[in-house]
Structure 1
């Protein structure tokens, strides 16, 4: 079967030799440089222990310095799979998502035509470059000078000018005996609807040649000089040479620069790429008049693992970034992602580098954010989440986006990152030295708190403040002993103000981890707050004797403890609030209603203290307010009575 050479070129462009070879070898990570596509491994064609097999991913060739095997992706599959040339091509075509061409006896004719079209494009580039230096190109030269492009830059980028007029290029090429169908086939002219000769595609425009990765001119882009022109920028139509969804402006030079360690930057247009490259950012590319496509993303990832999308600092630039996110999520792989650098408002990379220089651009690139942060920004910016329904809507939208990620490991990490960001939004820092939220979703390790003997002095103290702290400690200890109870009482625990900073830190860690990973809660507390956090809590006597703490995992006991302790805590806080308000009002207001309010608050506190709840038949209340199982208490008293009896006998 005869294959068109263009098909094989396309196949090699789409595939990564590193991925093809990587299925058969184990890379030597110390010797390899994945960012530059310079990979080493023990040779799969002969037995060896050292890494003498070299893959140059950018050039698409491998070579073994031991057995001297060499070739490309097709020859590698052919040798390792023991298949024919056509079978190897079919295997790789399926991997690349390409359809094998049908038998075509005119394949060579098609390739010859592509070669002829490329030659016509080169003649057009030369014509445009000459026109820039004529009188007709004076306005274009002035414009380019104002944009900061000197003569050497114009030469490097082969910038030209298409003069105003209907058939300037057509007449020039026909005068060079170029066939009409080739001029039309290259996209340089369009047929007349009035029966006349075809007319030039580009008129009164500054011209930018577009070259493929091999350096062939495959299309042109034109910037209108007339401000009233309907299309400010115009690209060549798609032809046998040009597929704009599979092409990048400055592809070849950017790949070379990225191989030398420069960051790959994706800008919006020709002038942005030229300005960046002239400013020292040689690994800069741009899509061609459309939003970034899936094929262009794959091309970018072949050049660099983490391209930086540098977009204009306006609404349109942000919208473009959001479209890229939706496109990229299903395509993410381990080590392959995107970062986003948003220019200052109202500026594009060209503006920034001309007005403030390369250091300003570098500063923006250094602050590029990962894709997950921009996804979060899109779903939350400018919105208010002041109701459960709105929070649920946010959760649903984010879950739908995360589900698009095919790689399970990346999907898991995105979920955790979103969870951290959600925590910051809905549970901001509540004061206190401990539990201070850090930007990366971590907590400051708590400094050692007061020793347990000092904490135990709460039992000897009096007043409502000490009682509130005691209740808080019992609630926290109960949730740590039985984390499954948190989901039922999450809202009430979240409302706890926690007068003790240690308690506040514990409360926030519990809320963050108890529901999703109850079995790891104590480990999280020790990692975040240190082991002394649990030691100090459990050293409190009123915590140590709590039944739910002594019986971890007893969900019923934990539910009863939290229900009662939270009710008591609410009553105590209500009484304290009424007293505080009364103190402010009593000097100015002599009102029976005020006295009634205080009395009602006191009665509520007394009812809570008496534990008039459904479980009073099971539990007694100790002097310190802790609940004691009545059966256990009676059994304990019987044991103590037996001990005392034995002592008396002796």
Structure 2
């Protein structure tokens, strides 16, 4: 409905904001100046003891200096009464003595028709309630007693009964003078296919009236008494009053309870809502036999910023939760989200509250998971990520879901949360695997022997080189974090030899997407003010092209790729040297020297780079190209191995 020009201005002129707000707050007499319309009170939108909520009665606006809530009389009524814009206007117009503008004739006729249908529905409510108290309703009363529904609860939710008769309600409404078409249009009867008298929609069912937010009965839900009935629950058909995708069971009472601070709980059915309400969780609603729709989500968010979806603790409940997540992701806004409370296996909220009481339900609600956690669980639970391909598949699935989020800020926070959980999963280092085949008992070589000395010297040289490579990689990532995503997996797998390097690597992986300046602040906060500065002062780091020209992403990308490749090659040679040193005390054969030559050649292939000065190379016995000083070190080690062989 559109309002004529000037209507809202007139309404605001006639409305005293301080009077409207004064119904919800206690003014601070020391800070307030009523004569000037300058009023102060503790904010009604968040818990506080100081008076930070300011009302300027002359301008007609309020503002909270604590939570930053602001608006006029209409927005205040909307937020405190949990009503939509037009309903807030109606409330204020009635208080101001203003007549709401008339609708156009077509809209007025439609509204009149809806009012007439609502009157017919009320007649049906009274009929069903009366039938529950008759002899025909004995079995229904026994069922409700078995579900421990007190008579006061039945009265509160207006539960009734439709006897198993073809025209019971039809005849009752006709006796009240209701037109045939009105009964049909209300969805209370269906035309006969054989040309006879229409028959009742609901027969042999316990009846639950479904009311809209304004309290009008717009539909019914019926639970079959016959366990063999094809439909255990049956809702009214779609009518001029009823659209199940835009309706929530118990909407009005739940909205009122939310306004008083109750958490909004979304259950699956009528009995869950009734049980929760009787247990003290009065802000409970349910969709009507279908998955939650986009419109229903928006209705929920108008009542509460973070509704709790309470689902059965089984596979079907999890599937329902996942459908809600997929629906909600594109609709997320700042401060608007969902949490998910999964009931124990095989139980729904009705079962749990009747078996263990409200405390058990509260415990489940307290453990409700945020959407991002359930999204992560869906993609990871029961799966093994023991290969790069499986990890890449996980990244792809999560990235596709996060891209559904339209709000860039929320999308960024989801990405960071997923990154943190991913880091937690993949940073658990697997224990080293034992070498295949039989192992001989190994006694460490005497460090005084020439062979041991040679191997230790070579290993020490490799360790120092590895640490230098790590430093260049981390400095490049810190100065140009835009390239980190491309090398994220390699950085995660990098076993840092230096604990300081490991801490720096973790901070970079967690915060690289915040930009170079913010990343530097994170490094300073988490490691120390001089951590990055000390790293950049290292001579071999300061000479790296990516450090000298940090703004050039292509140079940073090339440096990262080359240094990571060199690091892998160095680690391979170091591992072979370590095993060769172990084998020195045993019978050494040609396989030891072959492995060393191959590892050295792999390392030197990685070291060949356009960014390095070319050096002269010698050929090893197997044809591998080695730098001269490296070949000399390797030859010394091989000679010691040969000299240690038995019989020499």
Structure 1-normalised TM-score? 0.71
- Distance in 1 separating the partners of 2:356 and 2:187: 39
Corresponding residue pairs, total: 534
* Residue 579 (structure 2) aligns with: 577
How far does the alpha carbon of each residue in 1:295-335 deviate from its partner, in whole angstroms, 9 at most, with x for none? 21111111111111111112222222122122222221111
* Residue 552 (structure 1) aligns with: 547
Shift of 1:114: 2.1
**Residues 580, 198 of structure 1: alpha-carbon distance in 2 compared, 3 angstrom cutoff:** farther
Where do residues 296-445 of structure 1 align in structure 2 (5 Å cutoff)?
296-428=296-428
* Residue 131 (structure 2) aligns with: 131
Shift of 1:340: 1.0
- Distance in 2 separating the partners of 1:147 and 1:225: 13
**Residues 375, 112 of structure 1: alpha-carbon distance in 2 compared, 3 angstrom cutoff:** same
* Residue 56 (structure 1) aligns with: 77
Does the 8 Å contact 1:478/1:548 carry over to 2? no
- Distance in 1 separating the partners of 2:327 and 2:562: 50
Structure 2 residue 514 is matched with structure 1 residue 497: no
Structure 2 residue 528 is matched with structure 1 residue 530: yes
SS at match of 2:206: strand
Does the 8 Å contact 2:210/2:218 carry over to 1? yes
Does the 8 Å contact 2:541/2:547 carry over to 1? no
SS at match of 1:207: strand
SS at match of 2:323: helix
Which deviates more, 144-153 or 501-510?
501-510
How far does the alpha carbon of each residue in 1:158-179 deviate from its partner, in whole angstroms, 9 at most, with x for none? 1111111211111222222222
Shift of 1:510: 4.4
**Residues 534, 233 of structure 1: alpha-carbon distance in 2 compared, 3 angstrom cutoff:** same
- Distance in 2 separating the partners of 1:49 and 1:131: 52
How far does the alpha carbon of each residue in 1:554-613 deviate from its partner, in whole angstroms, 9 at most, with x for none? 547776665545433320122213444776xx4xxx6xxx52233334556777999995
- Distance in 1 separating the partners of 2:392 and 2:194: 60
How far does the alpha carbon of each residue in 1:46-73 deviate from its partner, in whole angstroms, 9 at most, with x for none? 388988954211547999xxxxxx9945
Shift of 1:214: 1.7
SS at match of 2:416: helix
* Residue 480 (structure 1) aligns with: 474
Does the 8 Å contact 1:166/1:199 carry over to 2? yes
Shift of 1:398: 2.8
* Residue 190 (structure 1) aligns with: 190
**Residues 41, 180 of structure 1: alpha-carbon distance in 2 compared, 3 angstrom cutoff:** farther
- Distance in 1 separating the partners of 2:534 and 2:606: 31
Shift of 1:385: 3.7
- Distance in 2 separating the partners of 1:620 and 1:514: 39
**Residues 166, 606 of structure 1: alpha-carbon distance in 2 compared, 3 angstrom cutoff:** closer
* Residue 214 (structure 2) aligns with: 214
Structure 2 residue 569 is matched with structure 1 residue 567: yes
- Distance in 1 separating the partners of 2:148 and 2:460: 72
Shift of 1:386: 4.0
- Distance in 1 separating the partners of 2:167 and 2:62: 66
How far does the alpha carbon of each residue in 1:434-488 deviate from its partner, in whole angstroms, 9 at most, with x for none? xxxxxxxxxxxxxxxxxxxxxxxxxxx9656644542342122112332258678
Structure 2-normalised TM-score? 0.71
Structure 2 residue 25 is matched with structure 1 residue 31: no
SS at match of 1:310: strand
**Residues 535, 247 of structure 1: alpha-carbon distance in 2 compared, 3 angstrom cutoff:** same
* Residue 59 (structure 2) aligns with: 46
Which deviates more, 358-367 or 567-576?
567-576
Does the 8 Å contact 2:308/2:340 carry over to 1? yes
- Distance in 1 separating the partners of 2:408 and 2:540: 45
Does the 8 Å contact 1:246/1:295 carry over to 2? yes
Does the 8 Å contact 1:160/1:207 carry over to 2? yes
**Residues 488, 336 of structure 1: alpha-carbon distance in 2 compared, 3 angstrom cutoff:** closer
Where do residues 133-212 of structure 1 align in structure 2 (5 Å cutoff)?
133-212=133-212
SS at match of 2:287: coil
SS at match of 1:337: coil
Which deviates more, 549-558 or 340-349?
549-558
How far does the alpha carbon of each residue in 1:216-263 deviate from its partner, in whole angstroms, 9 at most, with x for none? 211111001111111110011121222222211111111111111110
**Residues 155, 536 of structure 1: alpha-carbon distance in 2 compared, 3 angstrom cutoff:** same
Shift of 1:507: 3.9
Does the 8 Å contact 1:308/1:341 carry over to 2? yes
Shift of 1:547: 5.7
**Residues 519, 388 of structure 1: alpha-carbon distance in 2 compared, 3 angstrom cutoff:** farther
**Residues 497, 142 of structure 1: alpha-carbon distance in 2 compared, 3 angstrom cutoff:** same
Does the 8 Å contact 2:569/2:599 carry over to 1? no
**Residues 382, 56 of structure 1: alpha-carbon distance in 2 compared, 3 angstrom cutoff:** same
How far does the alpha carbon of each residue in 1:370-420 deviate from its partner, in whole angstroms, 9 at most, with x for none? 112222223333444444444444333333332322222222222222222
- Distance in 2 separating the partners of 1:574 and 1:185: 84
Shift of 1:209: 0.9
**Residues 28, 291 of structure 1: alpha-carbon distance in 2 compared, 3 angstrom cutoff:** farther
- Distance in 1 separating the partners of 2:118 and 2:569: 82
- Distance in 2 separating the partners of 1:620 and 1:507: 35
Unaligned runs of 5+ in 1: 4-26, 64-69, 78-84, 90-100, 432-460, 622-650
**Residues 564, 612 of structure 1: alpha-carbon distance in 2 compared, 3 angstrom cutoff:** closer
- Distance in 1 separating the partners of 2:372 and 2:489: 28
